[in-house]
Chain A
Amino acid sequence: MPFSDDCTQGTQVYMDGVSHWLCEKHEDNPIGPCLVSFYLTNEVSFTTPIPSDVDDCFDVGPEWINLVVLNGSIALISYHEETTTFRVSILGQLGFQESWIKLFMVGPLPCVERPIRVGIKGGIFFIRKDKEIAWFDLSTQMIEELGYTTENLHCRIINYKESILPFEE
């Protein structure tokens, strides 16, 4: 099972009992860039290569890549700094590299200083050049402000569902 030596925040996603992570090419992973899907119940894994004609973000580093769930499908979102564009691709079937579909390109968004994370509802969160945290709404194609300004580029965003259920101490 391929592993990643460069696990950054946002390159893993969990959906319906399956843990997915991205894996870059390295000496122990001759397959090249791929998606690894691990079924928690039976511990079976699938590997889906990510061909460079789907997204060449792995060839041009340093890159920002996020793995998210879009409408029940695994989606790969990458940011390309030189063009200030985001590329969105989705996977039709685990294990089938030909089932990747290049969905769309977002941008250019020259106001992006640094992408943070794809949040709920497919919103792409980023720090703007004016240090304001903003998000691009995929459905309305509009940029909205979160109402938070930061000089520190290391802020993180995660999707959250409030719960008061305890876990075993």
Chain B
Amino acid sequence: MEQKPVAAPDEKVSNTYIPDDIAFSILSKLPLKSFKRFECVRKSWSLLSENYHFMNMFRKDLVSNSHRCSYEEGSSLHLFAIEHHKRALYYYSGERFENKIKLDFSNPFQTYDYFRIYGSINGTVCLHQDEYDSYGRTILCNPTTQTIKLLPTSEDELSITNEDKENFVDVDIISRFHGFGYDHVTNDYNVIRYVKVLIEQEPLCDYPDDFEETLSYQFGDIILGPL
């Protein structure tokens, strides 16, 4: 049967007032950044972050939204474990991570088994050793394609020669991993490290505990070239 068109009401709705509960419900669904901007629109909205009922709605939406959030890197997990003194890598996927595959993985640094695993971008995982053979080392690897790339040593680290090591009482290079990112403009991966070179000079006879300290650090990005 053909549906009759619903007759439009004669009196036009001229009321532009949106009831608070509807406005609040909309606001609670906004990302935090947008919500913060809308706080300035009305006085009653500026106090919303102190409103218990509103914040409950906001939390609920935020958590349920993060399930389908496009910012999330991937939809699966890597579990790096140690089994029988050896590194093991598992790949978990599925809504409840119900699919598990053991991947082939050996220590990409080959020597010195201690390394830290940082995040992954576009399937590339970043691994870092804080101190190895007196300087830090970073490796990028793709466990799916089994490719590995050892990043070049920074200039600051290379500036310390073997001669320096002999001439000074102690030379220490500390490398701290700060970030692994991707520059969309240049299509480059970036690694941010804090590198500190500590040089202990020959101790003075009068003050055997005293030493001079040379400090230099850089936030260097290592450019890997486009994909």
Contacts and interface: CB of A to CB of B under 8 A. Distances in A.
Contact of A13 (B49, B119, B144, B194): B119
Interface in B171-227: 176-186, 189-190, 192, 194, 217, 219, 221, 224-227
Interface string B46-84: 000100000000010011111101011111111111110
A146 B184 contact: no
A38 B184 CA distance: 14
Nearest to B177: A7
Nearest to B96: A144
A50 B96 CA distance: 33
Contacts of B32: 71-73, 90-92, 101
B74 A160 contact: yes
Give chain A's interface residue range (CB within 8 Å of chain B). Answer: 35 or more
Contacts of B97: 135, 146
A105 to B, nearest CB: 11
A120 B147 CA distance: 24
Give chain B's interface residue range (CB within 8 Å of chain A). Answer: 35 or more
A155 B82 contact: yes
Given A14-B179, A159-B73, A168-B227, 11 more contacts: A40-B183, A69-B72, A70-B69, A122-B67, A147-B100, A156-B79, A156-B116, A156-B117, A160-B78, A161-B75, A167-B124
Contact of B217 (A3, A93, A135, A159): A3
Interface of A: 1, 3-5, 7-9, 12-21, 38, 40-41, 69-73, 90-93, 99, 101, 103-104, 119-122, 133, 135, 138-139, 144, 146-148, 150, 152, 154-169
A5 B176 contact: yes
Contacts of B145: 164, 166
A25 B94 CA distance: 40
A123 to B, nearest CB: 9
A27 B60 CA distance: 40
Contacts of B117: 9, 156, 158
Residue among B71, B181, B219 with the highest chain A CB neighbour number at 10 A = B181
